[in-house]
Amino acid sequence: MNFKYKSLFQQGALVLALLVGTTACQEQLSGQGVAKTSETGVWLTTPDKSALFQKQEAKLAFSTATSQGPTIEVDDSQKFQPIDGFGYCLTGGSALLLSKMGAGERAALLKELFTTSGNNIGVSYLRVSIGASDLDDRVFSYDDLPEGQTDPELRQFSLAPDRPYLIPILKEILALSPDLKILGSPWSPPTWMKTNNNSKGGSLKPEFYDAYAQYFIKYIMGMKAEGIRIDAVTVQNEPLHPGNNPSLLMPATEQAEFIKKSLGPAFRAAKLDTKIIAYDHNADKPEYPITVLNDAQARQYVDGSAFHMYGGKIEALSQVHDAYPDKNLYFTEQWVGSKSKFEDNLAWHVKTLIIGATRNWARTVLEWNLASDPQQNPHTPGGCTECLGAITLDGNATTRNVAYYIIAHASKFVRPGSVRIASTSASVPPNVAFKAPNGNKVLIVQNDQSTPQTFNIRYQGKLTPATLNAGAVGTYVW
């Protein structure tokens, strides 16, 4: 690593340039090292992969020097939303691949992912599917029956499909990170509850609203019996996309009806503290969660709304926040295509999601699937064939892909219980700032320009300069 130091001020202040030369590629981070979550400094990822969430040798040096350059002012007297965590969707396919690893290799990888010591990245939030997602190796629900049969009393309900892989993996993860939060999202109810009796598309029959509400409760209580607490559920993954397998069409008015007539009252009667989150789809339809929240009977049961970004603009989250500022917002899914470029994904995901979603009130940022194999398997028939995991698993061989580093830039230091704080947004590189529970300030910056950008970070009247190469991402901790 080459660093350039240069005096800009008569007081002799040093400029941190962070101009990165060639360095060993860190795609095989071992989880070893001495860094702690309370450690301060700069962590860097570059588009050419010469630095991959790599701590820099140069230190942040705040001083009373002055500068005319672009300045990011960080102000922790202005506080916004708390942060629940950053992480991934632990699909059934991800759990299957993890289960096939050797016990020692899996334990080392899970420690790297879910703890914060050394070079470990501290993932703090996971989304799992209630029943199968399209990245399971097959389609299933927890109450599958022969065609023509129904089970409104849910006598056949069973978590058996999750017992071989998902539940054991979650237990291993929770042993490492007991406070990790888990969100459950259904892709489809059992087919006998649907208008088309098919895993793909169709709508939920109103006569089975109550049965489906109890299906959620049996799931939450069944996972609790396994020692797995479900912190929140979304009512339906991508309710306006019935073309996936599995999937369900659930317009906003139907979701409001289901929540107010069945799901909300059932949760209240069962004395569940699991949150109910509406929508869970793209930012191009902010009117969907607003429609749900406009229904006062449904609103009383709803914690907030969840979003993806396959359409729309991230600023739409603030539109929902402004309409209902007492309701929370979550960003719960974004894929990385296996045919796309590392540098393009790094730039877009950090700017739009890590920075953009949190600047627009999101309490979480989750990337889509944690793990896939080298051919982007497994998936259901008709499921996603190009979803690149944050890690690629080929037996015990592990490759860390771009979503690994995207999340690492936030998850390691912006711990649950952090709060977003004010930082300059105009005429400076895209950025977002947080105050962590240990008192550290964390500033994430992305250079969205085609040339290196030098800027200043100012906090409580003191300033430190920094430079990011084109497309690079820096996490600054002090």
In tens, the pLDDT along 350-364 reads 999 999 999 999 999
What's the rounded mean pLDDT across residues 30-56? 78
What's the rounded mean pLDDT across residues 389-396? 98
Q: How far apart are CA 47 and CA 55, in angstroms?
A: 16
Q: Are 41 and 477 in contact (CB under 8 A)?
A: yes
pLDDT for 67: 86
* DSSP assignment letter at 416: T
pLDDT for 68: 85
Of 370, 355, 379, 414, nearest to 88 by C-alpha is 370
Q: Are 80 and 419 in contact (CB under 8 A)?
A: yes
Record the tokens describing residue 85, joined without a space. Answer: 């965590």
Alpha helices in 283-436 (DSSP H): 287-294, 296-299, 316-323, 342-349, 356-359, 402-411
Of 67, 68, 44, nearest to 54 by C-alpha is 44
pLDDT for 11: 35
Helix or strand holding residue 255 (H, E):
helix 252-258
Give residue-wise pLDDT tens across range 70-128.
999 999 999 999 999 999 999 999 999 999 999 999 999 999 999 999 999 999 999 99
* The pLDDT of residue 412 is above 80: yes
Give residue-wise pLDDT tens across range 147-184.
999 999 999 999 999 999 999 999 999 999 999 999 99
Query: Cis link prior to 289 (omega < 30° from 0)?
Result: no
Q: How far apart are CA 360 and CA 4, in angstroms?
A: 36
419 has which bridge partners? 82, 435
Identify the active-site residue in 112, 238, 254, 257.
238
* DSSP assignment letter at 131: S
Angle of helix 92-99 versus helix 103-114 axis, rounded to 10: 130
Terminal CA-CA length for the chain: 22
Q: Cβ contacts of residue 175 below 8 Å, gap of 6+?
A: none
pTM over 0.85: yes
147 as an active site residue: the answer is no
Record the tokens describing residue 109, joined without a space. Answer: 């990888």
Q: How far apart are CA 20 and CA 269, in angstroms?
A: 58
Going by their DSSP bridges, the two strands 125-130 and 181-186 should be labelled as: parallel
Extended strands (E) in 114-178? 125-130
Residue for token pair 């300059």: 424
Identify the active-site residue in 112, 257, 333, 367.
333
Of 282, 406, 422, nearest to 348 by C-alpha is 406
238 as an active site residue: the answer is yes
Residue for token pair 């999340």: 407
* The pLDDT of residue 366 is above 60: yes
